[in-house]
Structure 1
Amino acid sequence: MKKLIPIMIYAVFFLFLLPPFIYAEEDEQKVDQEKMALYKKTAAITQIPWYYLAAIDQFEENTQKETASDDLIAITIDQNRWFGIGNSIHNTSIAWVSLFSGFGQDGNGDNLADPTNDEDILYSMAHYIEKEGTSHRDIKIALWNYYKRDLSVQTIMNIAKVYKQFGTISLNKTDFPIPLQHNYSYKNTWGDARGFGGRRIHEGTDIFANYGVPVKSTTYGVVELKGWNRYGGWRIGIRDIYNRYHYYAHLNGYKDGLKVGDVVEPGDIIGSVGSTGYGPPGTAGKFPPHLHYGMYKDNGYSEWSFDPYPYLRKWERAARNR
């Protein structure tokens, strides 16, 4: 027994020395597992595939300032819509909510439609979609009827596509857009003035590298746009699972076979560094070869550019430490 005491002391001491991120990762994995259990339970009841429910939840997590639930689910439904017009006292009885044609449903069998309960929230959203149908097209129509915004619908469908392909919501890997073994340089150029095409600001970070250096996807996402742009030359736009649009411009070319709608993951080659742009299709060589990398955020109402430099630095450090 005496020999065991020092060992136990060392073990406890070692646990205190473990980096905080290990605990954070474990907590995140536990939350993801609990969410997946809810998505799949609701999918089994309603026949709405789990990845659509997960995508809606993820979209709302990235757009809601405050969520109705303090637990797992971020989907937040307007109270008037949930309880029904006329149910001014917000009675949560399922019979009362139904009487006033409210959105809310009972997902956990307690005969209440509670707008703060995870099971009720998720089941209510799935029930709403199910009324339109369970096919890909039906779900897209139901989402349009709910959000009334093309970009919101497209983002949710893209997230669902990623979740379906990888079979999980635990997708936290990232990568730096240029392979680290190549020579490259960059600094924070977001917001700098640009003259071509009129006075405007630089909405991104320029990463200078040689012609033909591979360009990689930094995140999980779906290719939303591909082709020529007068400013960006040959460019690719990828929408990720965090409602962010990643813009890769001035490319020399694309990966063979890459097309709009393809799912990508961090590290996938999508093209190569070039100097295209500032003119009609085919224009090149008006500036040194580099990758213009831009990021845009959508909050469910509007989309705006933000500085990608801190993300690039973070992803570069993570790539070096792998």
Structure 2
Amino acid sequence: MWCKRAFLLIIVCILCLIPAPVWAASHGSAEAEARERQLLFEHMQAITGVPWYYLAAVDQYERSIHKHVKKKGKNVSPEAKQRKLGIVFSPEIWSGFLNPNPEDTSPSTISFFGGLGKDGDGDGKADRNNDLDVAYTMASYLTEFGFTEDDIRIALWQYYTRDKNVEIISNLATIYQYYNTLHLTGSAFPVPLHYNYSYRSTWGDPRGWGGRRIHEGTDIFAGYGTPVRATKHGIIETMGWNPYGGWRIGIRDVDALYHYYAHLNGFNKKFKVGDVVKPGDVIGYVGSSGYGKPGTSGKFPPHLHYGVYRDNGKTEYSYDPYPMLKRWEKEEYKNKKKKKK
């Protein structure tokens, strides 16, 4: 008992070094809030040994799959509305499946019933709406399996029981480790604006090759060899041949979205699977590959098929990228005009 109290005292002392805005209810700029979250994860790393970028990756993944959940309504506590982290523990996992009190905040009874919830700020409560408690609980859970990256991936699989979740979180961690920041903004239109190109909204249009299906993207028509660019900060997950998409590249961005570039004429040999990219990096070139065996080309005019997919924790689905493309195109034109002034 004495050792446990001493350890909690150490935690509190370390957390006292974190500037108050980390857990305060203030809402500053996106950059400031990203820095606050990173600082919290870095302090959790100092306490538990779990790399900050893995905690940040779990948080971002949870943020992406819970994005549709709005923090409002009479059943949402003020504490939940003020949370800055995206990590969400269900009452059953936090308090224990057999715990008669699903909203239990007592560390002792939570532990008795096998719940994961822990007191991360030394106030004697394990509150799943308290960011410090949540971050410390997740970090503590991950350390139960060891401290290597393989150990962390095993822990993540045990928690999510889905390979795709582990893959996405691991890739997000790689991005954050590479840039050493959570504040990664900016975008680029998939092809340089000074090239000739045209596009319209084609998401959902019928397609027949390989069986009836819908078109899961927007076609950007351009000449052979037109550079194709990464639109967001991300990591290359896939690169190679696909019977439908031909030579294609798949990039996971920092919002956990999957960007699919298909029908390419070739790749930029500078990049390979696992490499981190930034907006504007040339990753390949427009072509007309696909609809057949490796090397098949010319069955349709040259164009870039650009698709975006969101993962909801259970499955990955496409949605219309056209509004984003129009926004990125407009922003890039606007930025170019500013530079000319």
Whether these two folds match at TM > 0.5 is yes
Q: Which residue in the other structure is 2:80 paired with?
A: 69
Please give the alpha-carbon distance, in whole angstroms, between the structure 1 residues aligned to 2:249 and 2:305: 11
* Alpha-carbon distance in 1 for matches of 2:198, 2:93: 52
Q: Confirm or deny that 1:135 pairs with 2:137.
A: no
Deviation readout 1:142-179 (Å, 9 max, x if unpaired):
00000001111111111111111011111121110101
Contact 2:35-2:181 at 8 Å conserved across structures: no
Range moving further from structure 2, 44-53 or 254-263: 254-263
Contact kept in structure 2, 1:217 and 1:264, CA below 8 Å: yes
How far apart in 2 are the matches of 1:202 and 1:85? 43
Compute the displacement of 1:57 (Å): 0.6
Partner of 2:51: 49
Do the aligned partners of 1:82 and 1:102 also contact (CA within 8 Å) in 2? Answer: yes
Are the counterparts in 2 of residues 243 and 299 from structure 1 also a CA contact under 8 Å?
no
Match of residue 22 from structure 1: none
- Give the TM-score normalised by the residue count of structure 2: 0.84
Q: CA deviation at 1:26?
A: 5.5
Number of aligned pairs? 298
Question: What is the match of residue 117 of structure 1?
Answer: 130
Contact residue 288 and residue 299 of structure 2 kept, 8 A: yes
| % same residue | 52
Report the counterpart of residue 229 of structure 1 in structure 2: 242
- Tell me if 1:315 matches 2:317: no
Name stretches of at least 5 consecutive residues in structure 1 with no aligned partner: 1-24
Cα 1:91–1:277, aligned 2, differ >3 Å: closer, same or farther? closer
What is the Cα deviation at residue 66 of structure 1? 5.5
The amino acid of 1:280's aligned partner reads K
Q: Which residue of 2 aligns with 1:247?
A: 260
Q: Distance in 1 between matches of 2:242 and 2:44?
A: 43
SS in 2 for 1:321: helix
More displaced 10-residue stretch of structure 1: 69-78 or 307-316:
69-78
TM-score (norm. length: structure 1): 0.89
Secondary structure at the counterpart of residue 86 of structure 2: coil
Are 2:189 and 1:189 equivalent residues in the alignment?
no
Structure 2 unpaired stretches of 5+: 1-26, 72-78, 336-341
After superposition, the C-alpha distances for 1:236-280 in whole angstroms (9 at most, x for unaligned) are 111112221111001000001421111111111100001111111
- Partner in structure 2 of residue 14 of structure 1: none
Q: Take 1:194 and 1:113, find their aligned partners in 2: how far apart are those partners?
A: 52
Correspondence 1:1-322 to 2 at 5 A: 27-64=29-66, 65=69, 69-70=80-81, 71-89=83-101, 90-322=103-335
Q: Which runs of 4+ in 1 moved over 6 A?
A: none
Rounded to whole Å, the distance in 2 between the matches of 1:197 and 1:172 is 38
Q: Secondary structure at the match of 1:173?
A: coil
1-structure distance, mates of 2:184, 2:80: 23
